[in-house]
Structure 1
Amino acid sequence: MLNIGDFKLYPLQGGITQMDGGAMFGVVPRALWSKKYPPNDLNQIPLVTHPIFVQTEGHNIIIDAGMGNGKLTEKQKRNYGTTYESDIEHSLKRFDIGIDDIDIVIMSHMHFDHACGLTTPDGQSVFKNATIYTSQIEWNELRSPNIRSKATYWEENYKGIEHQVITFVGSMEIIPGITMRHTGGHSAGHSVIELESNGMKAVHMADILPTLAHLNPLWVTAYDDYPMDSIDAKERLLQKYIKEDYWFVFYHDANHFAVRIDEQTRGIKEDIRRDDLIEI
């Protein structure tokens, strides 16, 4: 668990995938990225899709929603290397709460690997008592995708939750100490989530920093719709967050749940590894 002041952060079991390493690192040569994130014989790298549970005195919050359960066809499971689907309900039991106790869902963006967990296979809302936040740009594109983005924005991931969604432009403080900021880049409406409490700070940079291996501002995924926007946002925000000693919290990194980064060396100053956490 990571404590950020009064906020308690913990990963939930949202699914496990094996995605193509070349796609995850774009134009970066395999000889470089494979040293930081080794692939298997099929050139796939292990990635988790683990929502970040944030518990405060008055709220039960999740950031991003996992792969869902029963949403993927057998072909999709094979293509995405999905070896495990979501089991968020089981993960929440350690906190003595259930799905219906989640009252806020924060969506960095709405690509299927983040949004499938929002609805059931028959299209009903999973988090019935939650308000769901995403950027207005992301919400618009989700409902009217272009020829490229329609492969990742699925109607079944939003039809059952439309009445729960609140959108924002620019930035929005969800509750005191938790703020969403629109960045664009990975998707037109992509956002980062900042958390601050009692002088401690953390950030979820979502898919403009999907793993620690993507720390180089130029290392962006082939899935990024606007890679130069990703590079610009990552370069600018990393300088700020590292200088101000933020914890970086990950949704996709199979090895690291959260790290602090040394400003001088850009190496790890402190690390919470997924293996160090109790099984989720």
Structure 2
Amino acid sequence: MEHLKVGEMVLYWLDGGVTHLDGGAMFGVVPKPLWSKKYSYNDKNQIELRTDPIFFQLNGNNIIIDAGIGNGKLTDKQKRNYGVTAESRIDVSLKEFGLAREDIDIVLMTHLHFDHACGLTIPDADRHVPSFPNAVIYVPETEWEEMRHPNIRSKSTYWKENWEAVQDQVQTFKEEITIEGAVRMIHTGGHSDGHAIITGESGGEKWIHMADLLPTHAHRNPLWVMAYDDYPMTSIFQKQKWIDKAIQENAWFVFYHDAIYRALKWDAEGNIVAKVERERNPES
């Protein structure tokens, strides 16, 4: 299992499944001759996007960032439309640590789109039950409100199956919250109105997870934002701010979706100076 050590903190990537989405949608107005030089695509013009939760332990707590694509929740039509070729195997991943889903203490949700939130619940007969029944689930207040009351655009990605069973576990925050003294969740907006990023620090070293503001390493250019972004100008502003800051601080960028890199560092010129590459697993 790939991992990244940042100070005394170690980040691991669980197997949360994989999607393949339209490359044009993922890169918005950027022409294909440009983005295709930085990220490969298949014969359907789709790009591979992991949905792998990031796991770490802090102060005796088992913590994950986002929840994966889930298992047994998508119809055949949804799997086809979203290019899902493998569903979540989080149980298998957690067994490597001697853990089960019941052992997760904290879930940090950057936002609640289906490809991040499906893994929060599990189908059980004619209902859904919590995947992580003993966890506190942190999510920005704005995102939680839209999840429960989606608009005509967002209702296609905010599903009641992903929130109704866990509503008693959710703890919201407005602009920022610090988890266990070392990890910050910061509301940014942009990709969704309630989108958040996550930063961590240990032993003088730093990491940043920009979630869907920076879904892959190929989205480094602040102007390369997704057609899926509800507020693209906000995304651009937040990318400029946080990418520049992280590079100045020599921080690691960590990814949930990237099929090539788990984590990397850039220099001021945009060169990759350190990296953790994803290991190709034939089962995922």
> TM-score, structure 2 length as denominator?
0.96
Q: Secondary structure at the match of 1:160?
A: helix
Q: Which amino acid aligns with 1:86?
A: S
Q: Secondary structure at the match of 1:240?
A: helix
The answer to whether 1:2 aligns with 2:4 is: yes
Question: Which residue is 2:117 aligned to?
Answer: 115
1:199-218: CA deviation from partner (whole Å, max 9, x where unpaired): 01001100000000000000
Q: Which amino acid aligns with 2:229?
A: D
The answer to whether 1:66 aligns with 2:68 is: yes
Q: How much does 1:227 deviate? A: 0.4
Question: Which residue is 2:182 aligned to?
Answer: 177
Q: How much does 1:84 deviate? A: 0.2
What are structure 1's unaligned runs of at least 5 residues? none
> TM-score, structure 1 length as denominator?
0.97
The answer to whether 1:275 aligns with 2:279 is: yes
Q: How much does 1:163 deviate? A: 0.4
Question: Which residue is 2:227 aligned to?
Answer: 222
Q: Secondary structure at the match of 1:162?
A: helix
Question: Which residue is 1:143 aligned to?
Answer: 148
Separation in structure 1 between the aligned mates of residue 114 and residue 147 of structure 2, nearest angstrom: 10
- The total of aligned residue pairs comes to 279
8 Å Cα contact 1:13/1:86 also seen in 2: yes
Question: Which residue is 1:204 aligned to?
Answer: 209
Q: How much does 1:126 deviate? A: 0.5
Q: Which amino acid aligns with 2:236?
A: I
Separation in structure 1 between the aligned mates of residue 104 and residue 6 of structure 2, nearest angstrom: 19
8 Å Cα contact 1:134/1:168 also seen in 2: yes
What is the identity percentage for the equivalent residue pairs of Structure 1 and Structure 2?
58
Separation in structure 1 between the aligned mates of residue 114 and residue 262 of structure 2, nearest angstrom: 21
Structure 1 segments of 4+ aligned residues over 4 angstroms from their partners: none
1:183-236: CA deviation from partner (whole Å, max 9, x where unpaired): 000000000000101101001100000000000000000100000000000011
Separation in structure 2 between the aligned mates of residue 54 and residue 164 of structure 1, nearest angstrom: 20
8 Å Cα contact 2:19/2:83 also seen in 1: yes
Q: Which amino acid aligns with 2:105?
A: D
RMSD between aligned alpha carbons?
A: 1.4
Q: Secondary structure at the match of 1:76?
A: helix
Corresponding residue to 2:27 among 25, 30, 54: 25
1:7-59: CA deviation from partner (whole Å, max 9, x where unpaired): 11010000111110001000000010001012111100111000001122411
8 Å Cα contact 1:110/1:138 also seen in 2: yes
8 Å Cα contact 2:58/2:180 also seen in 1: no
Q: How much does 1:98 deviate? A: 1.1
Q: How much does 1:6 deviate? A: 2.2
8 Å Cα contact 1:183/1:233 also seen in 2: yes
Corresponding residue to 2:264 among 259, 266, 275: 259
Question: Which residue is 2:159 aligned to?
Answer: 154
Q: Which amino acid aligns with 2:181?
A: P
1:162-191: CA deviation from partner (whole Å, max 9, x where unpaired): 000000011000111101000000000000
Q: Secondary structure at the match of 1:38?
A: coil
Q: Which amino acid aligns with 1:108?
A: T
1:134-185: CA deviation from partner (whole Å, max 9, x where unpaired): 0000000000111000000001100000000000011000111101000000
